[in-house]
Amino acid sequence: MRLTVRSCEWMGDWYVIERAEHDGRTWMEPTPSGASLQCSARFSDADVEGPAAEMHLIADAIERRSSAYRKRCAVEVVGEEVRFFSPRNTVGEHGIVTLAEADALAALIRQQVPTPLVTP
């Protein structure tokens, strides 16, 4: 699955990692506590999102074949797969891609997300 990083322009310094190809659908899914808005761009059960500095931490972890955790975005490299999730919002389903797909995302982050002056 090819991933992309999208700027949330209306939110300032905020980015979301999502599927590069999707049909744009949104729908509601029942949850134990009510309902959850879902969208076809999402590749796990929650948005993997955060400011530019955290996107660069994600890219660093992918390139080092390690892990990075922040409030709303996390990545773990486990063998030949890379798992993305939101520590705050993921309740089960991580987004899983290959190392090659994650490497392509890391390169895209480096290319499209401004380098922060300070990293968290």
Task: Tell me whether residue 119 is in a domain.
Answer: no
> Is 23 part of a structural domain of the chain?
yes
100 domain residue, yes or no:
yes
118 within some domain? no
Give how far Cα 5 sits from Cα of 31, 33, 39, 106, 117, Å.
27, 30, 15, 9, 19
Give, in order, the Cα–Cα distances in Å from 8 to each of 12, 57, 120: 7, 18, 20
Give the residue numbers spanning the domain of 72.
3-112
Looking at residue 36, its pLDDT comes to 74
User: Into how many domains does the chain fold?
Assistant: 1
Q: How far apart are CA 62 and CA 89, in angstroms?
A: 21
Q: Tell me whether residue 29 is in a domain.
A: yes
Residue 117 belongs to some domain of the structure = no
- What's residue 23's pLDDT? 87
Residue 47 inside a domain? The answer is: yes
Rounded to 10°, the helix 52-64/99-112 angle is: 140
Residue 29: per-residue pLDDT:
80
pLDDT for residue 120: 55
120 part of a folded domain? no
pLDDT tens string, the chain, 120 residues long: the values are 899 999 987 888 999 999 998 888 887 888 788 887 788 788 888 889 999 999 999 999 999 999 999 999 999 999 999 999 999 988 778 999 999 999 999 999 999 999 877 655
